[in-house]
Amino acid sequence: MLIPVLLSGGVGSRLWPLSRESYPKQFQDLTSQLTMLQETAARLDGMADSGAPLVVCNEEHRFLVAEQFRAQQREAGAILLEPEGKNTAPAVALAALQAARTDENAVLLVLPADHVIQNVDAFQKAVANGLSYARDGQLVTFGIVPVAPETGYGYLKRGDELGPEAFALAQFVEKPDLATAEAYLECGEFLWNSGMFMFTAGAYLAELKRHQPAMYAACEKAMAATAADIDFLRVDAEAFATCPADSIDYAVMEHTDRAVMISLDCGWSDVGSWSALWEVSPRDAQNNYLHGDVLVEDVNNSYLRSQNRLVAAVGVDNLVVVETPDAVMVADKSRVQDVKAIVSKLKKAGRDEAVHQHRVYRPWGSYESLVVGDLFQVKRIIVKPGERLSLQMHHHRAEHWIVVKGTAEVVRGEETMILSEDQSTYIPLGTKHRLSNPGVIPLELIEVQTGSYLGEDDIVRFEDIYGRNQA
């Protein structure tokens, strides 16, 4: 059986301010009506003998993964929760150990969840081409036929031809400078490193144990102590903390003598920057991509995106402008790789914009701050049908709730009430309370918080259907 492994642990900091740690690019619909995670799962449809995917993600994103699969009526074979990021080699080891519990000869197709592939048919044919090599115990990687001297990608040098579009892997090459990339393109022996792989669970684990025994031992111990939690598998944090961090390339593929490269020409991009996203986006006659409330005059070769308000541009060329409710980013398109430096500065300053979107997603729905002042805050809260918040209380704030759409079931102390549109209630400081949506449409309400401290860490949970921390 072919088991897709979707790696969904990245944060996509080069696509800030849209992509942030709490809601990174793989969960957003950047190139179609589906999110990038959903697109990754959808491109497997129709492949013979393909099973339910294993998803590896971090703790904070677990409900986002589950919700996006549910929205597409898909089932995950398992959602593995990494206690901390350790790069791709340990992440794949966790998936391989999970698959090997039932079949160590299962073929794993490892796919980052945040890539674009425009020609799905070519992708599926390349996977089919590599299957025989994977089943024979080889470790297969996919090299992308380059279309430009790209300096933002690593490269793979092909060796002897093994079959149609299949080669021995001669060398991994780091991201080159422009002159070197131009030479690679001209000689035709170098392909872009896609970060996609295929091998049996047993073959990968054998090579990991051979070349990285400490990593293998830590992952094996961590998986031996997994605990089921609702729809998730929690990997043992203490054992996993001892695991070295490294990529598949460095940990395994550069050392193995069993590597095969399949050549792939499929309109691929890792969407690792705003310029890369511009490349794969539909553009107008002036070579611009315009999204949202955007007006331009004499603008060329630019990417302009608005989420919340009017963005107007006049007489500019080769720019990226991205507006969100709490930030505006402007960059020369040739410098967008440096957006990551802005994120680093935000983190160093302890600013929330590095981590959270203006709209914060929770397993029950979402909330966003509308007004923040001294001793008060106004939020818009959306609760999905059938979902409910934890039974909780606050030490430092009281809350006023006004229903603007849908129906709310409210637990306040010892009483339970139903509120409909235009009705409201008050939750005194220190009172146990819970908000639920018993209806079939989203519940929307305005929450006015008042108190001496309004931080999200002032929550004491007593009951929670999502297994979050309780008192």
Domain ranges, ordered by start, for the chain:
2-269, 274-342, 363-463
Instruction: With CA atoms as reference, report the closest residue to 431 among 451, 402, 460, 456.
Output: 460
Contact 215, 208 (CB under 8 A): yes
Q: Do domains 2-269 and 363-463 have the same CATH topology?
A: no
Amino acid occupying residue 95: A
Average pLDDT, the chain: 93
The CATH fold of domain 2-269? Spore Coat Polysaccharide Biosynthesis Protein SpsA; Chain A (3.90.550)
364-382 CB burial, b ≥16 within 10 A, e <16: bbbbebeeeeeeebebebb
| E strand or H helix that includes residue 114 | none
- Please give the structure tokens belonging to residue 145: 């036929």
d(CA 300, CA 92) in angstroms, rounded, equals 42
Distance CA 111, CA 28 (A): 17
Element (H, E) at 412: strand 408-412
Q: Kindly give, in sequence order, each residue whose CB lies less than 8 Å from that of residue 27, ignoring residues fewer than 6 positions away.
A: 35, 36, 37, 61, 64, 68
Spans in the chain with pLDDT lower than 50: 471
Q: Which secondary-structure segment (H or E) carries 378?
A: strand 376-383
What pLDDT score does 471 carry? Answer: 46
Q: Tell me the C-alpha distance between 16 and 321, whole Å.
A: 11
Please answer whether residues 449 and 367 qualify as being in contact, where contact means their C-beta atoms are separated by less than 8 angstroms.
no
Helices 213-224 & 201-211, crossing angle to 10 degrees?
Answer: 130
CA-to-CA dists, residue 428 to 381, 425, 452, angstroms: 18, 10, 13
Tell whether omega for the bond before 244 is within 30 degrees of 0, i.e. cis: no
Report how far apart, in Å, the C-alpha atoms of 232 and of each of 56, 59, 66, 220, 426 are.
10, 10, 9, 18, 36
Q: How far is CA 455 from the centre of its chain?
A: 26
Res 1: pLDDT: 86
Report the CATH fold assignment for 363-463.
Jelly Rolls (2.60.120)
Q: Is 34 helix (H, G, I), strand (E, B) or coil?
A: coil
Helix (H) or strand (E) holding 18: none
Q: What is the DSSP string of 234-251?
A: EPPHHHHHTSPP--HIII
**Chain centroid to CA 388:** 25
C-beta separation of 424 from 408 below 8 A: no
Whether 376 and 452 have beta carbons less than 8 Å apart is answered as no
The percentage of residues in the chain with a pLDDT greater than 70, rounded to a whole number, is 99
- E-strand ranges in 298-349 read 303-306, 311-314, 319-324, 327-332
Distance CA 118, CA 310 (A): 31
Q: pTM of this prediction?
A: 0.87
pLDDT at 470: 55
pLDDT confidence of residue 60 = 86
